[in-house]
Every structure is written in C-alpha cells, then in structure tokens.
Amino acid sequence: MYNFGAQGPSGYSREIKKTQASRSGLYLNPQPFAEDVLLVCRVGDAFRFWTWDDGAWSPESYLPGVTANQAHAWPEIDVTGVEPMRFDLPLPATVQVGVMAGAWTTAGPADDSRTRAVIDYVRFAPTAPASFDDCTAGFPDP
C-alpha cells in the first residue's frame, strides 16, 4: 500500500506498507499538506515507490530516525536509507489494484480535521517495465 494523508498526531506523511501473512510493516515519510502524485512500480516480485517532487520523480527511501520500526523492518529494507525502499512480495503475474482513501485519528467522529481525498485519475504504464529504471519513463510529466 502506498498513500498520503493524515497520520494522526504526527501530521501528514506518505505511508508505505507491506502486509504478508497477517504481518504488516509500515513506514512513514513526512509530507507537507499539499497535492501529491504517487507512483508504484512492480518488476517481478519487487515493488518500489516514487513521489513527484519539484518536477521530477523522487524514489522513496527508509528514513532512519523517522520511522520507529527499524528493528522490525522487512529483510529487504535498507534501514540505512541509502537504497530506495523495496518490498519483495511473491504475487501472481496478474493482480487487481484499487484506490482507497482513509484517515487515522484518535479524536473520533467529531474531529473536524478529517482528511478528504480527491483522486483525479489513475494511470497505468503503456508497457510493463523490464527494470526499475523503466518505471518512471511512462510518466514523464504527471
């Protein structure tokens, strides 16, 4: 899962999460409250993530000292933050994907700071990428 939104008292973040066999590992990268464009790319059994930043794609990385679950990170995560974040997840060649919206809050239904999601569009690359270098080529200017 890859999303952007209110993450409770910590403010706004991009959330990158893998769930496998009922175990989830989530990573939060700080994000100002603003429009955002997110990209998920699958090559084989590996997934990587990018955000559109100042006119270019920026790969997501683990942010040491920001994400609290370093000791419990998935084995493929580079907890030094040097390599882009990657999740390995063996899935069938064809999968269903979807768009969701949600918000995390401890204030309850009377909280007037709830998040509202407006999704303008979802696009898929015209051809499957052969490598992670190909991932952003289908979306040169989102």
Q: Give the tens place of pLDDT for each residue, 38-68.
A: 999 999 999 999 999 888 999 998 887 666 5
Within a domain: residue 60? yes
pLDDT at site 32: 78
In a domain, 126, yes or no: no
**Average pLDDT, rounded, for the chain:** 81
- Entry pTM: 0.82
Token pair for residue 121?
A: 């569009």
Which tops the pLDDT comparison, 76 or 43? Answer: 43
- Lowest-pLDDT range, 30-34, 74-78, 112-116? 112-116
Could you tell me which of 19, 41, 10, 18 has the C-alpha nearest to residue 103?
Answer: 10
Instruction: Answer yes or no: is 104 within a domain.
Output: yes
Structural domains counted in the chain = 1
Neighbouring residues of 90: CB distance < 8 A, sequence distance ≥ 6: 45
Domain of residue 97 covers 2-115
Q: 136 in a domain, yes or no? A: no
In a domain, 8, yes or no: yes
- What pLDDT, on a 0 to 100 scale, did the predictor assign at position 113? 56
